[in-house]
């Protein structure tokens, strides 16, 4: 086959050691373990408790995990695409800091912000770079230090989010495996329902924005919930139809880990067996751009060459979409 696809050939991940479980949150805000589990499916989340640990640091640790397992030379990496909503700083891309810390001396790098859809958008972007034939090894990372923008006095948001990083290596393949198709959508009306209002050019930082806690995540949970189910379901159905596939043809669904009820609803709408849907939200919470690669990291042993995998995500903006991939072989250090 002459067509070039970008295939995932290595996976790395990192989550901080500090566990923030529901029992701890019960002491911080007016909530209960039973309420959190029933509404979200989350039992605990990982938090970068060291204030000096930045998004770049977590990404570097995930990349080092990938390199250690795959045996690739960091100098061979052509590009790093970093999906994040929590950059180290507003000016100067976090991805370039990652390259410096991780020894990716020959890679160009940039950040991509599509909130919880970020990794999926970045995966498509990285795949397109590989498909041109110009780039042979592209790293795609999803990392967020959500604890840096969460108000731990707001029980509606602080129960949801955690910190973490996941990364995959994309390489060219001519045998039909790899990223096959993507469908992405946006709706700017969603900004009012999920955002960090202050800190950008629309509303800068001042005493009032700090006092009003406008530098933290704010969301209308009910509106986001409904739109997430509809958006992810529709995108998945569209990508299946465009590729003449049905739910029965899919081996695994890897959805964004925002809320277990959303995940279950999307699976039911698609008619996919529950045991085909990968879920780890109970351990990590919503790590935003990191949820999809962390699912791959956790469950990589389950994926077999030739498996058809459906990815889907929904995030602030609103941004959402779905991607179809055929799994290939992962590198090992022995190779």
The residues annotated with a catalytic role in the active site are 116, 256, 286
Per residue in 154-167, is it b (16+ CB within 10 Å) or e — as a string? eeebbbbbbbbbbb
| E-only strand ranges, the chain | 5-14, 18-21, 44-47, 79-83, 108-112, 138-145, 163-173, 178-186, 194-195, 218-219, 252-255, 308-315, 319-326
CA dihedral 122, 288, 202, 51 (to 10 degrees): -110
Question: What is the CB neighbour count within 10 angstroms for residue 188?
Answer: 9
Tell me how far CA of residue 172 lies from CA of 1, 7, 72, 163, 165, in angstroms: 12, 6, 15, 31, 24
Contacts of residue 220, defined as CB under 8 A and 6 or more positions apart, other chains included, come to 192, 193, 194
Any idea what the Cα angle at residue 305 is, between residues 243 and 275, rounded to 5°?
75
Query: Is the four-CA dihedral 30, 34, 40, 42 of positive or negative sign?
Result: positive
Dihedral in degrees, nearest 10, Cα atoms 251, 311, 109, 164? -100
* DSSP one-letter code for 329: P
Token pair listed for 315 = 């995030």
Q: Which residues pair with 165 in a beta bridge?
A: 14, 143
Could you tell me how far CA 161 lies from the centroid of its own chain? 12
Instruction: Specify the DSSP class assigned to residue 305.
Output: T
């Amino acid at each position: 086959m002459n067509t070039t696809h970008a295939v995932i050939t290595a996976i790395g991940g990192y989550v901080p050691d500090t566990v923030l479980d529901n029992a701890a949150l019960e002491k911080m805000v007016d909530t209960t373990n039973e309420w959190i589990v029933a509404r979200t499916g989350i039992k605990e989340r990982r938090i970068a408790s060291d204030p000096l640990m930045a998004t770049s640091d977590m990404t570097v640790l995930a990349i080092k995990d990938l390199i250690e397992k795959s045996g690739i030379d960091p100098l061979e990496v052509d590009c790093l695409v970093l999906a994040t909503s929590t950059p180290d700083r507003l000016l100067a891309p976090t991805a370039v800091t990652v390259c410096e810390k991780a020894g990716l001396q020959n890679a160009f790098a940039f950040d991509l912000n599509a909130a919880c859809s970020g990794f999926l958008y970045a995966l498509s972007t990285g795949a397109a770079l590989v498909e041109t034939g110009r780039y042979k090894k592209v790293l795609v990372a999803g990392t967020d230090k959500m604890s840096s923008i969460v108000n731990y006095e707001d029980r509606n948001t602080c129960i949801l989010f955690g910190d973490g990083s996941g990364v995959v290596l994309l390489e060219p393949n001519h045998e039909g495996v790899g990223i096959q198709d993507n469908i992405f959508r946006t709706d700017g009306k969603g900004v009012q329902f999920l955002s960090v209002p202050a800190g950008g050019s629309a509303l800068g930082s001042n005493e009032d924005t700090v006092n009003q806690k406008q530098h933290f995540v704010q969301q209308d949970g009910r509106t986001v919930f409904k739109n997430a189910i509809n958006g992810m379901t529709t995108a998945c159905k569209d990508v299946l139809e465009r590729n003449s596939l049905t739910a029965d043809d899919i081996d695994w669904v890897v959805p964004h880990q925002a809320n277990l009820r959303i995940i279950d609803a999307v699976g039911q709408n698609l008619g996919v067996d529950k045991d085909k849907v990968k879920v780890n939200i109970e351990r990590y919470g919503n790590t935003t751009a990191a949820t999809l690669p962390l699912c791959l990291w956790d469950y990589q042993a389950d994926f077999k060459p030739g498996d058809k995998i459906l990815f889907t995500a929904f995030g602030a903006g609103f941004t959402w979409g779905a991607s179809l991939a055929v799994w290939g072989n992962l590198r090992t250090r022995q190779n």
